A and B are shown apart, each in its own frame.
Chain A
Amino acid sequence: MSATTRAPAQGVARAERTGGRGQTLAQKILARVSGEPDPVPGQIVVGQVDLAMGHEQAAQAVLPFHQMEARRVWDPDRVVIAIDHWVPASTEGAAKLHQILRHFATEQGLRNFYDVGRHGICHQILAEDGWVVPGDLAVGTDSHTNMLGAVGAFAVGIGPTEFAAVLATGRIWLKVPSTIQIRVRGQLSRGVYAKDLILRILKEVRCDGARYKAVEFSGPTISALTMSERFTLCNMTTEMGAKAGMMAPDAATFDHLRGIAKHDMHPLEPDRDASYERTVDIDVDGMEPQVACPYSPDNVRPISELAREHIRIGQAFLGSCTNARMDDLREAARVFRGEKVAPGVRFIVSPASTRIYQQCLKEGLIDIFTDGGAVFTNSSCSACFGGNMGILAPDEVCASSSNRNFPGRMGAQEARIYLMSPAAVTLSAIRGEIADPREVV
């Protein structure tokens, strides 16, 4: 970490290796959880899992769990089930998935079940309730589990059969990844956000540039980011193909986790002489807002170019695990206050958790959005994945704060999705076309 990092409240492990190649943060964590003192990239290690999270897809883990003839979940207190894709169930199929999970949770004594009413997007639940802490190995049945790496953890997405194996044994094999170091300096300009930074990085690293690799963020700009912003960055390391994205914990991390951490922390930092496969240096001074254009999250262009093209939209979506936390919604409300949604546009706002929903209610944000013609929904993954609500028709165009814009992601194969910051989504909803938030913030 840079010299500007404040001393952490709880001592970060500083035992640095000398006279040899040091370890990255990913290696440090995998060494801790596997007991292998010096795991090298490419080596297979078996790690003890600190936290296992399942969402609806975990329903597909129940059958394999029983086929494995496992009787009990290895540690019910280390398992979180958080349903989020279809809450409350919007189809019979989703209702069955929820039913399977409720039954399994009862059978196995899984008390940490975030059912309808306490629900939120699974990653946000883990963040809000301190389920993942520095030094952890966390696994989840959603690909954006990477998000939790922002607390200084190794957080990785897995499929349901793998989840069943973790439930049965508490362990997972992992190939030790090489690491891409991303050093960021400079100050984000007004109207430019963590989302713009990660889109800019995606433009550099590309969609498969971090395949099988870890991404480690550092530098003064990262140190100055809030936890919410760090979650946004780590969230979209998934779009680079990364196995995990992370940054070393610091005072902001420990402040965030004070009083909510669910288990013991093992804060770790990379060695100063850590060996990185590649280092990407980004200077954000003067960087303008970025937009990922159809049909790939790495098809990134500066927003000023798009604003000149007057790209009309039919839908604006402010939601998803990437960008629907309080800071996102407050900034969007600041842009939207007193404004109206453009004719012919639907503006869908979906908070990342029920707790965020309640906070929006208290702060009057729901009034601001709905007075101007937006629809403020129950917390869920909402329109992000094209399977629940806010689905796009062929040839429709959507400005979205979410994380993917592949063909068919939000509905029709031909629909066009532009990914951008919450402020940019909101101004686009007001103008009816993709617009540069620097004009108003």
Chain B
Amino acid sequence: MQKVREGRVWCLDDNVDTDQLIAGKYLTIIDPAELRKHVLEGLLPAFAREAREGDILVAGENFGCGSSREHAPQALRAVGLGALVANSFARIFFRNSINLGLPAIECPGVRAIFRTGETARIDLERGEITNVTRSVTARFPPFPPHIQEILDVGGLVEKVRRELRAGGGEASA
């Protein structure tokens, strides 16, 4: 996992829910590339058109609240985000993101130091996110070890695969 990432920022406010990330009408889509076309379609249509690989999404409180749909973090992962940062995340969205290997960084107060179009630099090891445009830095705690383990192998699929291979699961018995 690349420890320092720098990218252009997109800002979103509080309580952006999964219906806004991917609307209910798209839930039968499985292909992430197809989902990507509809991400944030109602709320921020420019995002699907203009977001580039390496961009950084900075959101407010309770990001990803609402449904359990994994389509939401899948669509964001398909954008190739450099990072996903929020003041706080809704829990299923957070787990889904980590399970897909997408680091969802919780950093209280981060939203207040960014505006769309500015540049962010994130140092995952030092737990720092800097607004390069304005030279302001916010800090976040590192991931707990069990979450870091999932991210280090690229997601939950690989983690469980290794555990099953090692004979740790009933399914391989």
Segment from A92-100, A180-188, A339-347 that makes contact with B: A92-100
Map CB proximity to B onto A239-263 as digits: 1 under 8 Å, 0 otherwise: 0010100000000000000000000
Please give, as numbers and ranges, the residues of chain A lying within 8 Å of B110 by CB-CB distance.
none
Chain A residues with Cβ under 8 A from B131's Cβ?
Answer: none
Contact of B171 among A73, A158, A406 (CB under 8 A): A73
* Interface size band for A: 35 or more
Chain A proximity of B14: nearest CB distance (Å): 8
| Complex Cα spacing A157 to B69, Å | 10
Q: CB-CB < 8 A to B135: which residues of A? A: none
Asked whether any CB of chain B lies closer than 8 Å to the CB of A227, the reply is: no
B164 pairs with A168, CB closer than 8 A: yes
Q: Mark interface residues in A137-174 (1 if CB within 8 Å of B CB, else 0).
A: 00001110100000000000111111011011110010
When the two chains form their complex, are residues B170 and A143 in contact, meaning their CB atoms are under 8 A apart? no
* Contact-residue size bin, chain B (C-beta under 8 Å from the other chain): 35 or more
| Cβ-closest chain A residue relative to B173 | A72
Cβ-based interface call for B15 (8 A)? yes
Indicate if the CB atoms of A164 and B157 lie closer than 8 Å: yes
Report the stretch among A23-31, A207-215, A278-286 that lies at the interface. Answer: A207-215
Contact bitstring B156-173, A, C-beta under 8 A = 1, else 0: 110011011100111110
**What CA separation (Å) do A277 and B10 show in the bound complex?**
35
Q: Which of B1-9, B49-57, B95-103, B117-125 faces chain A?
A: B95-103
Contacts of B65 in A (CB 8 A): 207-208, 241
Which residues of chain B are near A167, meaning CB under 8 Å? 171
A386 touches B30 (CB 8 A): no
Of the listed residues A56, A157, A161, the one surrounded by the most CB atoms of chain B closer than 10 A to its CB is A161
Q: Are A159 and B165 in contact (CB under 8 A)?
A: no
Identify which of A57, A168, A212, A407 contacts B20 (C-beta below 8 A).
A407
Interface residue from A59, A157, A168, A211 paired with B62 (Cβ < 8 Å): A211
Complex Cα gap A240–B163 (Å)? 34
Given known pairs A208-B61, A211-B91, the reply for A60 and B70 (CB within 8 Å) is yes
- When chains A and B are docked, how far (Å) is the Cα of A168 from the Cα of B157? 10
> Scoring B residues 43 to 78 as 1 if CB is less than 8 Å from chain A, else 0, what string do you get?
100000000000000000110011111100000000
The verdict on A191 contacting chain B, using a C-beta distance below 8 Å, is no
Taking CB atoms, residues of chain B closer than 8 Å to A165 are 99, 156, 160
* Residue B23 interfacial (CB < 8 Å): yes
A69 (CB) vs chain B CBs: closest residue: B161
- Chain B residue nearest to A298 (CB atoms) is B15
Q: Does A74 contact B (CB under 8 A)?
A: yes
State which of A69, A143, A243 has its C-beta within 8 Å of the C-beta of B165. Answer: A69
With A162-B95, A211-B62 in contact, is A68–B146 under 8 Å at CB? no
Is residue B90 contacting chain A, with contact meaning CB distance below 8 A? yes
Q: How far is the CA of A162 from the CA of B70 in the complex (A)?
A: 10
CA distance A165 to B159 in the complex (A): 9
User: What is the bound-complex CA distance between A387 and B67, given in angstroms?
Assistant: 13
Kindly identify which residue among B26, B69, B172 contacts A159, using a CB–CB cutoff of 8 Å: B69
Nearest A residue to B144, CB-CB = A44
Complex Cα distance, B30 from A96, in Å, reads 10
Min CB distance, A30 to chain B, in Å? 15
* B73 to A, closest residue via Cβ: A159
Contacts A142-B67, A207-B62 known; A170 to B170 CB distance under 8 Å?
Answer: yes
B28 cross-chain contacts in A, Cβ below 8 A: 56, 86, 91, 93-94, 96-97, 387
* Docked CA distance A243–B146 (Å): 19
Which residue from chain B places its CB closest to the CB of A94 in the assembled complex? B28
Closest to A172 in B: B95
- Whether, in the assembled complex, B128 has its beta carbon less than 8 Å from a beta carbon of chain A, the answer is no
Beta-carbon contacts of B84-112 to A below 8 Å, as 1s and 0s?
A: 00001011100110011000000000000
> For the complex, is B27 an interface residue (Cβ under 8 Å from A)?
yes
Shortest B75–chain A CB gap in Å is: 13
Which of B15, B17, B26, B146 contacts A173 (CB under 8 A)? B146
Q: Could you say which residues of chain B place their CB within 8 Å of the CB of A67? A: 157, 161
Residues of the A chain whose Cβ atoms lie less than 8 Å from the Cβ of B82: none
Q: Could you tell me the distance in whole angstroms from the C-beta of B94 to the nearest C-beta in chain A? A: 9
Kindly name the residue among B28, B163, B172 whose own CB sees the greatest number of chain A CB atoms within 10 A.
Answer: B28
Q: Which residues of B contact A64 (CB under 8 A)?
A: 156-157
Per the 8 Å Cβ criterion, residues 3-37 of A in contact with B are none
Q: With A243-B91, A387-B24 in contact, do A57 and B68 touch (Cβ < 8 Å)? A: yes
17 A-B pairs in the complex with CB atoms less than 8 angstroms apart:
A67-B161, A69-B164, A71-B172, A74-B170, A159-B70, A159-B92, A159-B99, A161-B157, A165-B99, A167-B171, A168-B160, A169-B170, A170-B170, A211-B90, A387-B24, A404-B66, A408-B24
Using a CB–CB cutoff of 8 Å, the interface residues on chain B facing chain A are 15, 17, 19-20, 23-30, 42-43, 61-62, 65-70, 88, 90-92, 95-96, 99-100, 144, 146, 155-157, 160-161, 163-165, 168-172
Per CB-CB distance, the 5 closest pairs between chain A and chain B, nearest first, are A93-B28, A387-B24, A413-B42, A208-B62, A159-B96
Beyond A386-B19, A404-B66, A408-B24, 5 extra complex contacts between A and B, CB < 8 Å = A64-B156, A69-B165, A70-B172, A208-B65, A408-B19
